Amino acid sequence: METQEGVSKQSIRERIWDYMESHDIADFPRPVHHRIPNFKGAAQAAGHLPHLQAFRVARTIKVNPDTPQRNARFLVLESKKTLLVPTPRLRTGLFNKITPPPGATRDILRKCATSQGVRNFSVPVGLDSSVLVDLVVVGSVAVSEKGWRIGKGEGYADLEYAMMVSMGAVHKGTPVVTIVHDCQVVDIPEALVEDHDLTVDYILTPTRVITTGCARPKPTGIMWSKVSCEMLTKIPVLRNLREREKQAGKDVTLRDEPGSQQPAPGPIRRPQDRPQAGSRGSRSPLQGADTQLAATVCVGNLPFNTRVRELKRALQELGAVPLRLTWQGPQHRAVPHYTDSAAAQQAASLLQGLRLGANALRVSLGQQRDM
Q: List, run by run, the mean pLDDT of 10-residue segments along the chain (371 residues).
A: 65 95 94 94 98 97 94 97 86 83 95 90 83 96 97 85 89 95 95 91 98 92 86 84 90 77 42 40 37 70 80 81 83 85 82 79 66 34
How far is the C-alpha of 255 from the C-alpha of 262, rounded, in Å? 6
- H/E element holding 46? helix 42-46
Specify the pLDDT at position 294: 58
Specify the pLDDT at position 350: 81
Specify the pLDDT at position 260: 55
- H/E element holding 18? helix 9-22
Specify the pLDDT at position 325: 86
Q: What is the 3-state secondary structure (H, E, C) of 129-165?
A: CCCCCCEEEECCCEECCCCCEECCCCCHHHHHHHHHH
Specify the pLDDT at position 7: 80
Handedness of CA 337, 335, 362, 319 (dihedral sign): positive
Specify the pLDDT at position 181: 98
pTM score over 0.75: no
Specify the pLDDT at position 259: 59
Specify the pLDDT at position 233: 84
How far is the C-alpha of 89 from the C-alpha of 134, rounded, in Å? 22
How far is the C-alpha of 359 from the C-alpha of 300, rounded, in Å? 10
